[in-house]
Amino acid sequence: MNHQKSPLVLVALLSVSLSACVINVGSDEDTGWQKQEKLNRQHVANLGVGMKLDVVKQMLGSPDFSEAYPDGAAQVEVLFYRTQRRHDDGKTTLDECTPLVFNNGSLIGWGNTAYSQVTTAKL
């Protein structure tokens, strides 16, 4: 009778230990969008006022969104880069992006405060 229980116990222990292995496979890997958001946040943290538009684009690549408009004699450009996830819908929206604000090709600020200042001043 004990000999019949031994294989059953062994099978039960193996199935429990192997199922734990399947659960953990790949759990530490970031997805592509998570890596991109993290990289964008790192680049934004290294920005400095006065940086040139072409240098910033070289660092961060193509923006997710952009705006440009004349403001008197100045040309204002705003680049939006995804830095956070708010919606689990597979689409990037403005509220998931950090705006970078340029005046005549020079970075004058980033974040919602900088964006609000240029859009409020325009109104």
CATH number for the domain spanning 95: value is: 3.30.1450.10
Count of the separate structural domains present in the chain: 1
* For residue 45, pLDDT beyond 80: yes
Q: Which two tokens stand for residue 94?
A: 């403005």
| Average pLDDT of span 63-69 | 96
| pTM of the predicted model as reported, rounded to 2 decimal places | 0.72
Residue 76 near residue 69, CB atoms below 8 Å: yes
Range of the domain at 35: 30-122
How far is 73 from 51, CA to CA, in rounded Å? Answer: 20
Q: Which two tokens stand for residue 110?
A: 């980033």
**Of the given ranges (12-26, 74-88, 102-116), which has the lowest mean pLDDT?**
12-26
Q: Examine residue 13 and state whether it is found in any structural domain, yes or no.
A: no
pLDDT band, very low/low/confident/very high, at 15 (cuts 50, 70, 90): low
Q: Examine residue 114 and state whether it is found in any structural domain, yes or no.
A: yes
